[in-house]
Structure 1
Amino acid sequence: MDIAHLRDFIGVVEAGSLSTAASRLHVSQPALSQRMTQLETRLGVQLLVRGPRGVRPTPTGTALYRDAQQLVRQFDRLAHDVADQRDHVHGPVAVGLPTTVAAPLAPALFGWVKHHYPGIHLQLFESMSGYIHELLLAGRLDLAAVFREDDAPRAGEVPLYSEELYLVGQPEPRPPSDHEVALADLHAVPLVTPGPNSHLRALIDRTFAAAGLRPAVVGDVESLGTMLRIAAGGQACTILPLSVVAGHGRAGEHREAGEHREAGALGVRRIVEPGLRRYVAVRTTTESYEPREAVVAVRRGVVEVTERLAAEGQWPGIG
């Protein structure tokens, strides 16, 4: 039961008719009737007596009607108070986003802030993860998305999501599977990755080393777009999250295969035995005390937008 069900129920009782209430509430009569049935089912009691001359509340429905009116008024008062406080939250908030995070998150976050907190002046910085981390440590950012190798709780951080990493490109010789490739089969595959200061490169190096291997990195590339173009051109492969490849303009048509996906001739294979997984959190500059209201508001927006994009399938590969 939520506040919308209570509003609908109040409307039906006051109208004395499902058709009249549906007109006032701007919904169809079948939809409103279904909502009332759902409410009764959820509470396990009959709330309305339906007849040829309309509907009337049962004694239990009358009691709920009185309580619902109070609850709805309290909710509306709370919502008004929150909105009034929202209007007083203002000021600049600098947010740093690694390129692989910025592509899906930045536009949606910008819209969320403008809608919920128009007094906040959002400053978005997009770059490779190493530079974002430097800006955060230097105090030039209020918030930043940071990569981690585990989901252990850390001061000043709120977990966002985790994602697997994929081999992007067509290695030679071709792996037997179009959807997966074992880490051991990548020891001789030429790779382009960001430089040693990036989290992605550090994760790749450590994962290979733990398996007694060494990645064949043939170039350090501090540009996501360039890495993808090199992989598409067949000059070398790279290792990236699925969300980046799904949005790549030259990927072509995608073909679903369980939770794996091949993007045209580009070639996208999940790395297994072992897999590569990284965790992403949003971190504030301050760790020992709560940041100012505007920063807290934007941090909440980062979490809400991330969850919404994942739920709507607009950010593939994260969980």
Structure 2
Amino acid sequence: MAAGRFNLAVLYRTAESVGQMTVLAREEFCLVVPPGGPPFEDSIPLADLHAFPLSVPMRNNNVRRSVADVVAQHGCVLNVRFEVDSLSTIINMVMEGKAYSILTPSAIQKEASQGRVRTVKIIDPVITRSVVVAVNSQDERSPAVSAVRKLIPRVVRSLIEGKHWSATVPDGLTHILE
């Protein structure tokens, strides 16, 4: 964006204050567990995640930073056994019962719908990240950029309402979508 190579971008942000960006949706992280593992309740407190050997993305990954920030704020500890730079490898490790993971439902949507992994809601607190749209300040007045910027929230809402994306639309965005 700063170099002027992008007119508009859809990005992940974990902070509530996202400056000039418009929050499109919020995703909640969940514990991803093997399908044949022991029974789980519908939810698990953040403080109890230390009991599970985890396979997580590398430290520079947005997912890892999102989770690490909340874990640190609440004085919790995670049992990170594997740092992997491949989402498919992480998912395969969970499917094979070698580890658990903390991901968003959108990351494992296909595998969960096929029963190859299960999700458990993380609570006390819930870990979320925001999906935002950012526009290059040099292109804000462009008719093409403006048209796409208005279309993106409608597509996001359609995906969420149609149950194709497990996310929520923030309350403040509803006026933009109507």
Whether TM exceeds 0.5 here: the answer is: yes
Unmatched runs of 5 consecutive residues or more in structure 1: 1-135, 253-263
Q: For residues 176 and 290 of structure 1, do their structure 2 counterparts lie closer, same or farther at Cα, with a shift above 3 Å needed?
A: closer
User: Aligned in 2, Cα 1:265/1:309: closer, same or farther, shift over 3 Å?
Assistant: closer
Contact kept? 2:27, 2:130, Cα under 8 Å = yes
Correspondence 1:266 to 2:117: yes
**1:1-319 counterparts in 2 under 5 A?**
136-152=1-17, 154-155=19-20, 157-170=21-34, 174=38, 176-177=40-41, 179-248=42-111, 251-252=113-114, 264=115, 266-286=117-137, 290-319=140-169
CA distance in 1: counterparts of 2:86 and 2:4, whole angstroms: 24
**What stretches of structure 2 of length at least 5 have no aligned partner?**
170-178
Distance 2:131 2:25 in 1: 5
- Give the Å deviation of 1:276: 0.6
Larger RCO (alpha carbons 8 Å, 6+ apart): 2
Q: 3-state DSSP class of the match of 1:192?
A: strand
Normalised by the size of structure 2, how large is the TM-score? 0.79
CA offset at residue 268 of structure 1? Answer: 0.8
Partner amino acid, structure 1, of 2:5: R
After superposition, the Cα gap between the structure-2 partners of 1:251 and 1:304, relative to the gap in structure 1 and judged at 3 Å, is: closer
Cα drift, residue 310 of structure 1: 1.5
Q: How far is 1:216 from its partner?
A: 2.2
Equivalent residues, number: 168
AA paired with 1:164? E
Shift of 1:145: 1.7
Q: Which amino acid aligns with 1:219?
A: F
For the pair shown, which has the larger CA radius of gyration, 1 or 2?
A: 1
| RMSD value, Cα | 2.6
Between the aligned partners of 2:117 and 2:44, the Cα distance in structure 1 is 15
Partners of 2:72 and 2:46 in 1: CA distance: 11
Q: Which moved more, 1:221-230 or 1:161-170?
A: 221-230
Asked if structure 1 preserves the Cα contact closer than 8 Å seen for 2:56 and 2:80, the reply is yes
Higher helix share: 1
Task: State, as a whole percentage, how many aligned pairs show the same letter.
Answer: 30
Say if 1:138 and 1:218 are closer, same or farther in 2 by CA, change over 3 A. farther
Matched with 1:128 is: none
2:25–2:167 Cα contact (<8 Å) kept: no
CA contact (8 A) 1:194 1:223 kept: yes
Deviations 1:15-46, CA, capped at 9 Å, x for gaps: xxxxxxxxxxxxxxxxxxxxxxxxxxxxxxxx
1:55 aligned partner: none
Q: Which amino acid aligns with 1:149?
A: T
Q: 1:292 to 1:228 in 2, by over 3 A?
A: same
After superposition, the C-alpha distances for 1:131-160 in whole angstroms (9 at most, x for unaligned) are xxxxx45543222222222443512x1220
Q: 1:240–1:297: structure 2 CA closer, same or farther, 3 Å change rule?
A: same
| Offset of residue 308 of structure 1 | 1.4
